[in-house]
Structures are given as C-alpha cells and as structure tokens.
Amino acid sequence: WVPLLHKEYAKLLGGYDCLLRGPGLLHAVLRAMTGGVPQAFYLPDDWPDADYQCDARQLLTCLRHALAEAWPVVVMWKDSAKLFNGLLPGHPYTILALHERSLAGGGSVYLLRVANPWGLKGLWHGPWCYSSEMWDRHPEVEQALGCSVRGLSAAMDGTFWMDVDAFFTCAAHLVVVQCFHNNVGQGPFY
C-alpha cells in the first residue's frame, strides 16, 4: 500500500519532483494524511535568545499537550546538524515522548524520544544518545524511563533520546498536527 499511496500522492502534486520541494510540502503531506491542522514553529539559529513567537517553556508546554493528545509532532533539523551529531537535515523525524526526570544530584532533565524512520542512519550522537556517558552518570533516569536506552540494541528500533537543550539547538522547525478525534459510534448521537 505504501508505494501505491506514494505514487498517487506524487501524481496529485504533479510528479515525483514535487515531493522534494522543501518543508512547505511537509505541512501539506501531514494535512492530507491525518486530516489535521499543522502548526509550524520555525526556530532561527539564535533561538531562544531571538525575539520569537514563543519561548522554550511555551514550546515545551505545546509539545507536552500535543503528545498527550497523541497528535503527530515532526521535527526537521538545521543544515549544520549533520556536521557534528549524526542527524540528517531535511529529513523529518517524529517526536514520540517528552519526559521530565529528576537527577540524583539535584535538578532535572527534559528528554525527548525521537524516532528516525530511516533506522540506524541519522541517529543522534550527542548527550543522552544510546552510547552516551550521561546514562552512566544518571542511571536513575534510565530506571525512571522504564526501558533499555543503552547500547546498539536499544537503537535498533531507530529511536533515540535527546535533551531539550540539544534539541532546540539542532531543530530547524517543528510541525505539530492538531487532529480532531472522530467520536462517531461512541455513545448517543443526539
């Protein structure tokens, strides 16, 4: 089904070359596939210091709400991201979860679980990645998350963990798709 859907969507847009027309197409694809309303957040290089539509706290609140509602959240990375951390710019990744966890020495860390649809190619190689020493320094975080996060076997599903500071440094833009849940057939219709 996927190749057929891909072919028909390319035909609808006017050809396969139309599938490669930048991030604006991502919004159209997400709208067509979900029936939802995409909201884009473009993060300039100097964000969150720049005068922008929202600050980091507001964006975290938006992410938390979207993930609680099971809305699709997609991120694309800055072009410079590939230079030092393994991420592939121009490729959409999906945000699966956002967790705040307490650290044993005090303070807390916000971690995002990100899915890379290309598997092992394009995985994060920074703090809190599957081979990061941060897991050794803070084993209580792995225990609180309740899943295996270390070693190559943890990365085999194409997901990785990333702290929000690194995320905001590497993200070029986010798309949150507000989906309207259809409750037809659930309870009386009158």
Give the pair of three-digit tokens for residue 53.
């539509």
Task: List residues with catalytic annotation.
Answer: 91, 116
| Interior angle at CA 99, CA 161 and CA 148, nearest 5 | 50
176 vs 173: CA distance, rounded Å: 10
| Interior angle at CA 68, CA 125 and CA 155, nearest 5 | 25
Is the separation of the CB atoms in 91 and 112 below 8 Å? no
